[in-house]
A and B are shown apart, each in its own frame.
Chain A
Amino acid sequence: MRSFILFFLIIASGTGGELCVSRAMRSIGEVHDFSPKSILDFVLRALRMPWMWIGIAMMSLGFFALLAILSFQDVSFVVPVSALSYAAGAFGAKAFLGERISRHRWLGIAVVCIGVTIVWWSRK
Chain B
Amino acid sequence: MRNSTERATGTSRAKTCILLGQINHRMRAGPGLHLKTYLSLFVIVIFAPLGSVLLGKGMKGVGSAVTWTPHDFLPVLLRILSNGYIWLGIASLLTFFVAYMLILSWADYSYVQPSTSLSYATVAILSHFVLGELITPLRWLGVAVICTGVFIVGRTSPRAHGAKHE
Contact = CB atoms under 8 A, between A and B. Distances in A.
A119 B139 contact: yes
Given A30-B105, A76-B139, A79-B52, A101 B163 contact: yes
A100 B163 CA distance: 7
Interface string A18-47: 000110010011110010000100110010
B149 A79 contact: no
Given A25-B101, A75-B53, A76-B133, A70 B149 contact: no
Given A46-B101, A122-B136, A99 B160 contact: yes
Contacts of A57: none
B74 interface: no
Contacts of A102: 156-157, 162-163, 166
A102 B160 CA distance: 8
A80 B143 contact: yes
Contacts, number: 161
Nearest to B63: A71
Given A31-B102, A71-B60, A80-B120, A122 B149 contact: no
Given A21-B101, A102-B156, A115-B143, A108 B150 contact: yes
B139 to A, nearest CB: 4
Given A79-B120, A102-B163, A116-B146, 5 more contacts: A25-B105, A42-B105, A70-B60, A104-B157, A115-B148
Interface of A: 2, 21-22, 25, 28-31, 34, 39, 42-43, 46, 66-68, 70-72, 74-80, 83, 86, 90, 99-105, 107-122
28 contacts: A28-B105, A67-B86, A68-B66, A70-B55, A70-B63, A71-B59, A75-B123, A75-B131, A76-B139, A78-B56, A83-B150, A86-B150, A90-B153, A100-B160, A101-B163, A102-B157, A104-B155, A104-B156, A108-B154, A109-B149, A110-B149, A111-B152, A112-B149, A115-B143, A116-B142, A117-B142, A118-B142, A121-B138
